């Protein structure tokens, strides 16, 4: 009987209603099987899945002023413009251009759509612009925001240069070579280094392997004296460190980074270069700020703990009875929170001791990972990130990309005791060497020099993250990529 009505049953099958348990509904991907071919062998398997959801990284809004140290593309009869690939290459200066181009070729780069018809309503009732795919030659407009997958910033981990020099005032040949590899830029006025974590900047009697002592012994090059510190980084933090090579450059840099009201110069190019000066940090924080971006204006004051020796920086009370210093920080969340942590970008507008760490821990309520001084109340309950064994959306086994020959737990979010995840990534400042040369030239001969005029007025540097932060970036980005 079933053989005779086989065709009728087959036709009525789509209209049959089947009831499933709400607790464990069947996976639609496993319901049908197709013929798959691998290694010239045919077998039944699941159909090929579509692209998995990707965690997007938000770039800052495109600025209205020209990009520091970048020449804009000009067209006939039109104003200079910057393309999307130029803007992304500028922001991710340390990433090869081929990696960025491949993301454009795969259609992974998106931008907020300017059309009002592309508004979408979220669960909370808030309207949000939908994203559209863009090509590499898309012309950037002021305020436009670009989104790229976090995979664009993933990088290979190398432990070659992670050694810290031993505590000595006289570094050997290997340590001198190591320190010189840290130098990212050198001219007649300044040195820019990518400082590794756990290396103190300013030395004392018990500390000999500090950055200033080692630089004086190993980075003098052809000068009689070694370079001097202009601004400092915490011992546990990493990133761009600026040093002056001459007395004139040191005094000018101190003036540049001071918070006093600066007198304007007669030269417009120098004034514009000074206004463009900034520093940007990347940090991994526990939790996520309530707002995606904003400005923290919270004065800081110093207090002594009960032992009478230890000094601590706290948010100042608005009572007016204790000395305090103004502290302002811009922040921007780079992406969504994953496993209780999120990446943020910090832009300090003032230079105070432990400003970023205190603002993150106390003002935002999101202490930096590895900050046991100001985030001790959260690190007491610190649980290392679980191993990424399953993809969160499909719960399928996931093979984590682990760097070969390197302990992934060392200092990263997989560690029981992670290192401080605070890195000075970007630095923009005027060309001090060009300014000093022009001043000396004008004092001697009133004649323009084309050699100096061809040099840029503004210098920009981008430093890659240390190994433990790269590991954390790769581990967290692998959740949705």
Could you tell me which of 316, 321, 342 has the C-alpha nearest to residue 331? 342
Among 127, 153, 179, give the residue marking a domain's end.
153
Q: Using CA atoms, how far apart are residues 453 and 55, in angstroms rounded to an integer?
A: 44
Residue 134 lies in a domain: yes
Q: Are residues 473 and 325 in the same domain?
A: yes
- Residue 213 near residue 169 (C-beta atoms within 8 A): yes
- In SS3 terms, 40-99 reads as CEEEEECCCCCCCCCCEEECCCCCCCCCCCCCCECCCCCCCECEHHHHHHHHCCCCCHHH
Residue 109 lies in a domain: yes
- In SS3 terms, 100-161 reads as HHHHHHCCCCEEECCCHHHEEECCCCCEEECEEECCCCCECCCCCCEEEEHHHHCCCCCCCC
Domain that residue 149 falls in: 56-153
The count of C-alpha atoms lying within 13 angstroms of the C-alpha of 185, restricted to the half-sphere facing its C-beta, is 19
Could you tell me which of 312, 310, 302, 354 has the C-alpha nearest to residue 329? 354
**Within 10 A of 91 (CB to CB), how many other CB atoms are there?**
20
Q: Using CA atoms, how far apart are residues 343 and 283, in angstroms rounded to an integer?
A: 6
Write the DSSP string, 364-389: SS-PBTT-TTT-HHHHTT--PPPP--
Q: Using CA atoms, how far apart are residues 402 and 122, in angstroms rounded to an integer?
A: 36
Q: Which residues contact 436 (CB under 8 A, 6 or more apart)?
A: 188, 189, 246, 248, 249, 252
Q: Are residues 329 and 473 in the same domain?
A: yes
Q: Using CA atoms, how far apart are residues 236 and 265, in angstroms rounded to an integer?
A: 37
- Residue 240 near residue 194 (C-beta atoms within 8 A): yes
Q: Are residues 338 and 473 in the same domain?
A: yes
Helices first, then strands: H and E counts in the chain:
13, 20
Tokens representing 215 are 């630089």
Residue 239 lies in a domain: no
Number of domains the chain contains: 2
Could you tell me which of 147, 128, 149 has the C-alpha nearest to residue 138? 147
* pLDDT in the model for residue 315: 87
Could you tell me which of 354, 360, 350 has the C-alpha nearest to residue 311? 354
* pLDDT in the model for residue 26: 42
Residue 207 lies in a domain: no
Q: Give catalytic status of residue 234 as yes or no.
A: yes
* pLDDT in the model for residue 28: 47
- Residue 170 near residue 217 (C-beta atoms within 8 A): yes
Among 118, 153, 188, give the residue marking a domain's end.
153
Residue 362 has what DSSP assignment? I
Residue 403 lies in a domain: yes
Q: Check 212, 234, 407, 439 and give the catalytic one.
A: 234
Residue 352 lies in a domain: yes
Per-residue pLDDT of the chain (481 residues; tens, 9 = 90+): 445 544 444 444 444 444 433 333 344 444 477 777 777 777 777 776 655 556 788 888 898 777 876 655 444 444 468 899 999 999 988 888 888 999 999 888 999 876 545 555 454 545 567 788 999 999 998 888 999 888 788 766 655 544 444 445 566 777 778 888 889 999 989 999 998 888 777 655 445 567 777 787 788 888 888 888 888 888 889 999 999 999 999 988 888 887 655 556 667 777 788 888 889 999 999 988 989 899 999 889 888 777 767 788 888 876 555 678 889 999 999 887 777 888 999 999 988 889 999 999 999 999 999 999 898 888 777 766 655 545 445 555 544 444 343 445 578 887 888 899 999 999 999 888 888 888 777 655 555 555 556 778 889 999 999 888 888 887 776 554 4
Length of the chain (residues): 481
Tokens representing 43 are 């077998």
The pTM for the full model equals 0.78
Among 135, 153, 171, give the residue marking a domain's end.
153
Residue 40 lies in a domain: no
Residue 450 lies in a domain: no
479: left (phi over 0), alpha (psi -120 to 50) or beta: alpha
Write the DSSP string, 440-466: HHHHH-----HHHHTS-SEEEEE-PPP
The label of the residue with tokens 């997989």 reads: 414
- Residue 119 near residue 63 (C-beta atoms within 8 A): no
């Amino acid at each position: 009987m079933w053989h005779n009505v086989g065709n009728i049953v087959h036709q009525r099958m789509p209209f049959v209603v089947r009831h499933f348990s709400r607790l464990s509904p069947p996976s639609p991907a496993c319901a049908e099987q197709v013929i798959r071919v691998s290694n010239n062998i045919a077998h039944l398997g699941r159909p090929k899945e579509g692209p998995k959801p990707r965690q997007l990284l938000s770039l800052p809004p495109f600025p209205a002023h020209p990009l520091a140290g970048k020449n804009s593309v000009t067209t006939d009869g039109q104003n200079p413009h910057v393309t999307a690939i130029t803007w992304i290459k500028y922001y991710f200066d340390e990433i090869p251009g081929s990696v960025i181009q491949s993301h454009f070729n795969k259609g992974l780069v998106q931008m907020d759509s300017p059309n009002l018809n592309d508004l979408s309503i979220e669960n909370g009732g808030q309207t949000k612009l939908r994203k559209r795919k863009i090509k590499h030659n898309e012309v950037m407009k002021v305020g436009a925001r670009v989104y790229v997958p976090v995979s664009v910033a993933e990088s290979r981990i190398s432990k070659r240069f992670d050694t810290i020099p031993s505590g000595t005032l006289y570094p050997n040949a290997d340590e001198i070579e190591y320190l010189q590899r840290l130098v990212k830029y050198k001219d007649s006025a300044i040195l820019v280094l990518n400082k590794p974590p756990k290396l103190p900047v300013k030395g004392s009697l018990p500390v000999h392997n500090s950055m200033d002592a080692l630089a004086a012994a190993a980075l003098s090059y052809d000068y009689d004296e070694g370079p001097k510190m202009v601004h400092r980084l915490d011992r546990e933090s990493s990133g761009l460190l600026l040093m002056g090579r001459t007395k004139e450059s040191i005094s000018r840099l101190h003036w540049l980074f001071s918070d006093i009201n600066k007198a304007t110069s007669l030269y417009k190019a120098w004034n514009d270069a000074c206004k463009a000066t900034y520093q940007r940090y990347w940090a991994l924080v526990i939790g996520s700020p309530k707002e995606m971006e904003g400005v923290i204006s919270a004065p800081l004051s110093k207090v002594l703990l009960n032992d009478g020796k230890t000094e601590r920086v706290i948010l100042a009370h608005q009572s007016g009875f204790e000395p305090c210093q103004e502290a302002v920080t811009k922040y921007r969340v780079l992406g969504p929170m994953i496993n209780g942590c999120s990446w943020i970008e910090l832009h300090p507008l003032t230079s105070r001791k432990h400003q970023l760490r205190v603002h993150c821990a106390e003002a935002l309520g999101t202490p930096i990972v590895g900050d046991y001084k100001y985030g001790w109340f959260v690190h007491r309950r610190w649980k290392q990130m679980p191993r990424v064994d399953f993809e969160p959306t499909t719960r399928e086994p996931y093979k984590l990309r682990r760097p070969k020959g390197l302990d992934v737990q060392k200092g990263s979010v997989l560690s029981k005791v992670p290192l401080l995840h605070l890195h000075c990534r970007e630095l923009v400042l005027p060309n001090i060497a060009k300014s000093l040369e022009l001043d000396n030239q004008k004092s001697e001969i009133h004649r323009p020099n084309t050699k100096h005029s061809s040099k840029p007025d503004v210098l920009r540097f981008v430093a890659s993250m240390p190994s433990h932060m790269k590991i954390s970036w790769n581990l967290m980005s692998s959740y949705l990529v």
